[in-house]
Amino acid sequence: MKMTRTVFVTGGAGYIGSHCIVELLKADYDVVVIDNFTNSVGVCDGESAALKRVEEITGKKIHFYKVDLLDKDALYGVFQKHQIDCVIHFAAMKAVDESIEYPLLYYKNNLIGMLNLLEVMTDHKCYQLVFSSSCTVYGEPEECPVTENHATGRNITNVYGKTKYFVEEMLQDISYSDEKWNIIALRYFNPVGAHPSGLIGEDPTKPFSNIMPFISQVAIGNKPVLTIFGGDYDTVDGTGVRDYIHVMDLARGHVAALSLLFKKHQKIKVYNLGTGRGVSVLQLVKAFEKVTNMTVPYQIAERREGDISIMYANAELAEKELGWTAVHSLEDMCADFWRWQKMNPQGYRTKDIKLNNSH
Ligand code: NAD
Ligand code: UD1
């Protein structure tokens, strides 16, 4: 009987996946990864730039396959090659604007991708799954901090968010139909920051619209001014409030979820992964300025369509059942994000990595 457990990670070349794999390797899991590089950087031999850095950080090897989840035969082939004990499913498209413009692309990638994975898992009698969900499933919350019991699926303003909700429903249904399934859905709040080494961070190949990269683009002078969407929300200073969480805290949350899956059969459980602290856009800008000693000029503009006013987590259930809490401060998030940016002004293209894809 093999001693080391093998985790299959979809989308592991991306932002959260790569950080999570650092923690999985530290916890002595064997890691098998697939990614198709739709939103991450590949290098000339079909390897992932981020995962090469993860190997550098951890001194451990990763089994990587350039495979698209929509290619079920290829997916099946990887399951045939490795004895998979558990799956962490990160792979999805996540650009909100793009999802509204190309709904079929998002439904196909995020829903068919999930279906293929569940079928291949079933074929291989692998029933342990951690799914990357999002606080977006709560829509505009009735109250904050929001608990896992809050209604989901109402007033979700974009197709990306709906795919997360639909997958959660799909997972509820399969866990009801067959009690072998043991699933944890993690609802992330707003992940930011980077590994403290500065070697890995967020480097999407698609256009992004999240706040943190914008703040730093303004700080380094690539953009003249930060546009803050809305100054008239009913919040501490009129700007939108979110629960920013350090990506390394999030990564530890996955290791905690795996431990629970291997210890206890719960069919399906959902946990919020947030800090429990609401932070306004202006508070985030001030924290960034303080930590980096840079100035971030900003202008207040109209609210962004589809934005909600306040969203932050009640993360007590994760503390109680996963034994997990976020430990990093807002300052850590800004400092680590900034270190990654400074060390890698062109992201993974910065160092002597020979790229073979155009993004
Ligand atoms: P990311 O885009 O950096 O990583 C996702 C990875 O999946 C990418 O490397 C992409 O190339 C890959 N991928 C996408 N479709 C694929 C397919 N069909 N086959 C194989 N690989 C595919 O995104 P992330 O920020 O790391 O997010 C990871 C997960 O967490 C996603 O499911 C996302 O929706 C969810 N999530 C992210 C956030 C966030 O703010 N980053 C918040 C809540 C939930
Ligand atoms: C977005 C997505 C959500 C996803 C989440 C985490 C939308 C509608 N929702 O949420 O589905 O789960 O990211 O990845 O996009 N802001 C500015 N100026 C900017 C950019 C953002 O003021 O240039 C503000 C926003 O109005 C918001 C806050 O910053 O108040 C955070 O925005 P963002 O990083 O885009 O995340 P969310 O809107 O929470």
Looking up residue 53, the CATH number of its domain turns out to be 3.40.50.720
Q: Which residues contact 155 (CB under 8 A, 6 or more apart)?
A: 139, 140
357 lies in some domain: no
221 lies in some domain: yes
CA dihedral 70, 74, 79, 80 (to 10 degrees): 150
Q: Is 349 exposed, middle or buried (0-12, 13-18, 19+ CB in 10 A)?
A: middle
354 lies in some domain: no
Protein residue with its CA nearest to atom 15 in ligand 2: 96
- Per DSSP, the chain holds a count of helices (H) and strands (E) of 12, 13
The whole-angstrom separation of Cα 308 and Cα 305 is 9
The whole-angstrom separation of Cα 101 and Cα 118 is 27
Of all atoms in ligand 1, which is nearest to the CA of residue 190? Answer: 40
Residues 112, 153 contacting (CB under 8 angstroms): no
The whole-angstrom separation of Cα 74 and Cα 55 is 24
Q: Which helix (H) or strand (E) holds 130?
A: strand 128-134
353 lies in some domain: no
What is the three-class DSSP state of 331? Answer: helix
Residues 299, 226 contacting (CB under 8 angstroms): yes
The 3-state DSSP composition of the chain as helix, strand, coil percent (nearest 5) reads 40, 15, 45
Residues 148, 317 contacting (CB under 8 angstroms): yes
What is the per-residue pLDDT for 346? 87
Ligand 1 binding pocket includes 253 (Cβ within 6 Å): no
Domain that includes residue 260, residue range: 6-348
CA of residue 234 to ligand 1 center, whole Å: 32
Of all atoms in ligand 1, which is nearest to the CA of residue 109? Answer: 18
Of all atoms in ligand 1, which is nearest to the CA of residue 136? Answer: 43
Pairing of strands 30-35, 6-10: parallel
The whole-angstrom separation of Cα 33 and Cα 109 is 17
247-263 helix and 15-26 helix, angle to the nearest 10 degrees: 60
What is the per-residue pLDDT for 356? 38
Query: From first to last of its 359 residues, what are the pLDDT tens digits of the chain?
Result: 568 999 999 999 999 999 999 999 999 999 999 999 999 998 877 899 999 999 999 999 999 999 999 999 999 999 999 999 999 999 999 999 999 999 999 999 999 999 999 999 999 999 999 999 999 999 999 999 999 999 999 989 899 999 999 999 999 999 999 999 999 999 999 999 999 999 999 999 888 889 998 998 898 888 999 999 999 999 999 999 999 999 999 999 999 999 999 999 999 999 999 999 999 999 999 999 999 999 999 999 999 988 999 999 999 999 999 999 999 999 999 999 999 999 998 899 876 444 433 32
Which ligand does the CA of 137 lie closest to? 2
What is the per-residue pLDDT for 358? 34
359 lies in some domain: no
What is the per-residue pLDDT for 357? 39
What is the per-residue pLDDT for 351? 60
Residues 136, 187 contacting (CB under 8 angstroms): no
Q: What is the pTM of this model?
A: 0.96
Catalytic residues: 160
356 lies in some domain: no
105 lies in some domain: yes
Protein residue with its CA nearest to atom 31 in ligand 2: 211
Q: Which CA distances in Å does 166 have to 1, 2, 110, 159?
A: 37, 36, 10, 10
Of all atoms in ligand 2, which is nearest to the CA of residue 134? Answer: 12
Q: Which residues line ligand 2 (CB under 6 A)?
A: 96, 134, 136, 157-158, 160-161, 190, 209-211, 214, 227-229, 240, 242, 281, 304, 306-307
Q: Which residues contact 101 (CB under 8 A, 6 or more apart)?
A: none
The whole-angstrom separation of Cα 40 and Cα 146 is 31
Question: How many domains, the chain?
Answer: 1
358 lies in some domain: no
CA dihedral 260, 8, 36, 203 (to 10 degrees): 50
The whole-angstrom separation of Cα 321 and Cα 44 is 43
CA of residue 14 to ligand 1 center, whole Å: 6
Q: Which helix (H) or strand (E) holds 218?
A: helix 211-219
